[in-house]
């Protein structure tokens, strides 16, 4: 897993305003099946914990294989700047 320098700077600004300093990746259900969710929250006891580019990260253990090859980056659009997760496996 990687976090781009641009995403890191944006995350540090957000973390400075929030009470949690941990970025958590977790399984999020949806009509299209399980997806990767992202939030600033404390890690669960069973999460895999690591530091990525100076950011505390926890990954729900069931999402470890999905998250290993991803990169969190920023993408600019006409509506502003959004986080984007690159390298997610495609599902049919």
Tell me what pLDDT residue 92 has. Answer: 43
Distance of CA 10 to the CA centre of its chain: 13
Q: Which domains does the chain have, with CATH numbers?
A: 2-86 (2.60.300.12)
DSSP letter assigned to residue 4:
-
- Tell me what pLDDT residue 30 has: 67
Sites in the chain below the pLDDT cut of 50: 92
Round to whole Å and give the CA distance between 81 and 4: 14
Q: Are 2 and 53 in contact (CB under 8 A)?
A: yes
pLDDT tens per residue, range 48-58: 999 999 999 99
Q: Name residue, tokens 């659009």.
A: 77
Contact 73, 86 (CB under 8 A): yes
pLDDT digits (tens, 9 = 90+) for 1-11: 999 999 999 99
Cα gap 36→63, rounded to integer Å: 7
């Amino acid at each position: 897993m990687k976090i781009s320098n641009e995403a890191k700077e944006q995350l540090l600004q957000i973390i400075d305003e929030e009470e949690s300093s941990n970025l958590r990746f977790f399984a999020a259900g949806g009509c299209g099946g399980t997806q990767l969710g992202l939030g600033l929250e404390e890690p669960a006891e069973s999460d895999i914990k690591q530091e990525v580019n100076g950011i505390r990260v926890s990954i729900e253990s069931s999402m470890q294989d999905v998250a290993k090859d991803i990169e969190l980056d920023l993408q600019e659009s006409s509506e502003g700047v959004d986080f984007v997760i690159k390298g997610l496996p495609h599902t049919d």
